[in-house]
Chains A and B, each alone.
Chain A
Amino acid sequence: MKSLITLFKSLFYHAGLNHENMQGTGFFYLLKDAAKRNGVEIDSAVLENQRKYFHTHPFLVNFILGMWLTEYKNGSDPETFKKAYSSAFGALGDSFFWHSLRPFSFVFAAITGTVDPFLGIMIYLLTFNLFHFTFLFTGYSLGMELGRDVIVWFNRIGFNKWPEHFDLVSVFFLGVFLAYIFKTGAEISVDVFFIAAGYLAMGLIMAKKLDITLGLMINLILSGIIFFQLGV
């Protein structure tokens, strides 16, 4: 039950994000509440210190929260681990959740969505949130249980390797999706096939040097001039 309440409250942890203390307000908000529910009395000066700078990935904050409370109860210095883990979890979280899990959820949603768009977005939301909520829910109890050793759990599950594995799966299904959307969305002929292959190659080449929106704008301007000349 405690984990459920923490999970719910941690959904708003980054609402006060600003460039002064980053997510320090959110961490203070979560810590004060979790300490109260666990009957932990935190020294007012120590608690006041928690309003200061803090920044980590929002889906992994509960690991640090649980770890902090355990280390504080044990009389050790939770601040050192909080600082070290906040940047480590920030990098791990960005790499997995933002870089890899989103494309992973996307490819399955895109394939399903081509048949039924509503089912597609359901797949997207279910795939992403399965990981999102599992990490938020288990994070607090694991942090409480393992304390400063919480990072060991990430090493045990090989979390730093997940992005690459997920990306390879995404690459395969991106191929499946493109073949499928091409078959269903365009009238297939040899010319059209080469145009599609050319577009993909152009994207791959431009991606090496250009930002995606700049690349798209160049594509749109060139295509626009051609279409306008052709009167379409």
Chain B
Amino acid sequence: MTQLILLLAFSGIITVDRAAGFNTMISRPLVVSVIIGMIFGSVELCFLGGLIFEIIGLVDVPVGTRIARDDSFGAYAFSLVLSYHAVTGMSNFILALMLVIIFTYPVTMSVHICRKINKRLYLRELTKGDRFNAAKLVKLGLLFHFGQGLVVYNLAFVIIYTLYQWFAAYLPGNDNFIPYMVFTIIFLSGFLLRFLSGNSYVKYLLFLGGVLVGWAVL
């Protein structure tokens, strides 16, 4: 019960931190995954899952008014699937990851709904003239975003988990999927490497230097 309450509160905090207040990066996929891992006792596995969604989010910059893909939800849902010990093999891992990625799209759409609600509230408040209350709009914005996380994140997770269990019954399982997780992280790092700015020669030489140092020293 305590786990559930913590989880529900955390889902609301994630969306507030992401879109309405604080911006302390507690909503970053890596942080979300480790916190969920700590709640359910599967930190190392969730950390690896968090790395996948963190890299996806890093190359998707919320420039200007653009709403970036909800990588926090991806980490939230994927870490929960991992924490429930539902993933037992490589095929299961791929299925879970694909389902979560697909569902990040409708979840991202819910941010648009929050912005539309904010717009309606703002226009309504404008009609009040001198009694325009910005503090009230700010508080309502925080509240709606908290509700968005609480409702949308958890509802989407329930749907993902139901679909996952249904499809997973047809898949083989019981093998070590950690190496494949590592390969997925390496694959995504290719996108991150290209995304980072700098002179190409310098960049790739530095990267190779880093690989050598990492291999030799750590």
Contacts and interface: CB of A to CB of B under 8 A. Distances in A.
A203 B134 contact: no
A188 to B, nearest CB: 10
Interface in B24-57: 24-26, 28, 30-31, 34-35, 37-38, 43-44, 46-48, 51, 54-57
Interface of B: 19-26, 28, 30-31, 34-35, 37-38, 43-44, 46-48, 51, 54-65, 69, 89-91, 94-95, 97-98, 101, 104, 115-116, 118-119, 121-123, 126, 130, 132, 134-135, 137-142, 145, 171-172, 175, 178-198, 202-203, 206-215, 218
A181 B47 CA distance: 12
A16 to B, nearest CB: 4
Contacts of A124: 25, 28, 30-31
Contacts of B63: 94, 98
Nearest to B214: A179
A228 B90 CA distance: 9
Given A11-B23, A15-B142, A183-B218, A174 B182 contact: no
A171 B38 contact: no
Determine the main DSSP class of A at the interface with B: helix
A200 interface: yes
Nearest to A109: B30
5 contacts: A19-B115, A118-B43, A132-B23, A174-B193, A195-B183
Given A51-B132, A171-B210, A232-B91, A217 B43 contact: no
Residue from B91, B181, B192, B194 with most neighbouring chain A CB atoms (10 Å) = B192
B212 A179 contact: yes
Given A18-B115, A18-B118, A200 B56 contact: no
A217 B69 CA distance: 15
A220 interface: yes
Contact of B188 (A98, A186, A212, A224): A212
Contacts of B218: 111, 176, 179-180, 183
Contacts of A224: 91, 94-95, 98
Contacts of B46: 117
Contacts of A76: none
A28 interface: yes
A224 B184 CA distance: 12
Nearest to B51: A110
Interface stretch (A137-145, A149-157, A162-170): A162-170
A117 B44 contact: yes
A167 B118 contact: no
Interface in A72-96: 90, 94
Contact of A232 (B61, B89, B193): B89
A214 to B, nearest CB: 10
Contact of B194 (A48, A106, A179, A208): A208
Nearest to A103: B58
A40 interface: no
A90 B20 contact: no
A153 B65 CA distance: 26
A174 B94 contact: no
A217 B52 CA distance: 13
A129 B193 contact: no
Contacts of B47: 113-114, 117, 120
Contact of A120 (B26, B30, B197): B30
A206 B101 contact: no
Contacts of A217: 98, 101
A76 to B, nearest CB: 25
A43 interface: no
Contacts of B189: 174, 178, 200, 203
